[in-house]
């Protein structure tokens, strides 16, 4: 028996989420069906995390055991030949038998994309949250996000129904930036993909503003740039003007090459990297930061929400279609 690690990307629009559903198509079932055809076995995969319905992935990691003798590169091609157009294996590798996609993950990175232009972008409607609140103050959102850096009890940003031993998590990096819309290049750095080494936001060193644990308020000028990410809980449903339909998955928001972002852009990119995430944590953070961006709450408010340790204190849960699992680091 061999243990295989796959890095996969998928457009979550047509799926009921990652996890198997008895009456609806899931990402897990679709991938396992392809693996069963390729290997002739009944394969069960384990993912680094379970994305919800409508949530996308640029670098989801899964593991499985198989007796298939195909080398990783041939296995990758064979699996992709049996997958639908909205899913692809980006990398396949044989790993030690003890590999565990969940417990061995050191950090994860999520991206959330908001469109706040006066007219919704119909081609990206399944991959952004089109806010109907008017133009948001991305700079204020970025300042507000700094309060979430570090190790905290994030229970204010956790939806009900997912009990855990602890709601303490560490956010290593967070930032909010205006970006630009990119066609056919995904959310990466121009090569259409993202891997486990965290290169998806590399922009040649002229990058996006980022706040890191330990130097909140500083702008990093290093190689790896990332904008902040937000997270949201499950109170009210926020206004969203781009529900339903199909769209071009390749048209999404991506980081802007100019330092400081593009102030004229109608896209806001929020990214967050942490050692783990609670249920709906990113979407709850996003919904909270949007309240700041609307001018409904002060920049200091997310810090107050964090200290309250009460989901009712935070903003609404942002809709799923703007969320992307970007990378999992081991």
Catalytic site residues? 52
| CA–CA dist 189, 185 (Å, integer) | 8
φ/ψ of 60, rounded to 5, equals -70, 140
Question: Which token pair is 114?
Answer: 């908001």
The contacts of residue 71 (CB under 8 Å, 6+ apart) are none
Of 146, 143, 128, 173, the residue nearest 265 (C-alpha): 128
Yes or no: say if 160 and 289 are a contact pair by the CB < 8 Å rule. no
Other C-beta atoms closer than 10 Å to the C-beta of 22 total: 7
Q: Rg of the Cα trace of the chain?
A: 19
| Per-position DSSP letters for 156-222, written without gaps between them | GG--SS---S--EEEEEEEEEEEEEEEESSTTTTSSS---TTS-TTB-TT-----EETTSTT----S
The distance from CA 50 to its chain's CA centroid, rounded to whole angstroms, is 11
Yes or no: say if 296 and 131 are a contact pair by the CB < 8 Å rule. no
């Amino acid at each position: 028996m061999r243990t295989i690690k796959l890095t996969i990307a998928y457009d979550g629009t047509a799926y009921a989420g990652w996890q198997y559903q008895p009456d609806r198509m899931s990402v897990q079932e679709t991938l396992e069906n392809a693996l069963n055809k390729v290997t002739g076995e009944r394969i069960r995969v384990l993912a680094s995390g379970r994305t919800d319905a409508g949530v996308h992935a640029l670098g989801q990691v899964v593991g499985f055991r198989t007796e298939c003798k195909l080398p990783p590169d041939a296995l990758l091609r064979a699996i992709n030949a049996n997958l639908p157009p909205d899913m692809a294996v980006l990398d396949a590798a044989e790993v030690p038998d003890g590999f565990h996609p969940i417990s061995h993950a050191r950090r994860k990175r999520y991206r959330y994309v908001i469109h706040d232009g006066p007219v919704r972008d119909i081609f990206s409607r399944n991959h952004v949250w089109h806010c109907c609140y008017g133009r948001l103050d991305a700079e204020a959102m970025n300042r507000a996000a700094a309060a979430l850096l570090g190790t905290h009890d994030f229970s204010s940003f956790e939806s009900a129904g997912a009990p855990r031993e602890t709601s303490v998590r560490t956010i290593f990096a967070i930032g909010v930036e205006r970006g630009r819309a990119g066609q056919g290049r995904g959310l990466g750095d121009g090569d259409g993909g993202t891997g486990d080494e965290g290169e998806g936001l590399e922009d040649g060193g002229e990058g996006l503003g980022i706040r890191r644990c330990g130097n909140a308020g500083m702008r990093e000028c290093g190689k790896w740039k990332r904008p902040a990410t937000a997270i949201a809980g499950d109170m009210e449903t926020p206004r969203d003007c781009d529900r339903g339909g199909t769209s071009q998955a390749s048209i999404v928001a991506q980081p802007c090459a100019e330092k400081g972002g593009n102030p004229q852009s109608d896209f806001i990119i929020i990214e967050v990297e942490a050692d783990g995430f609670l249920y709906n944590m990113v979407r709850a953070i996003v919904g909270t930061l949007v309240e700041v961006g609307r001018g409904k709450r002060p920049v200091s408010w997310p810090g107050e929400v964090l200290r309250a340790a009460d989901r009712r204190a935070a903003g609404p849960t942002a809709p799923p279609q703007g969320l992307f699992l970007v990378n999992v680091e081991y």
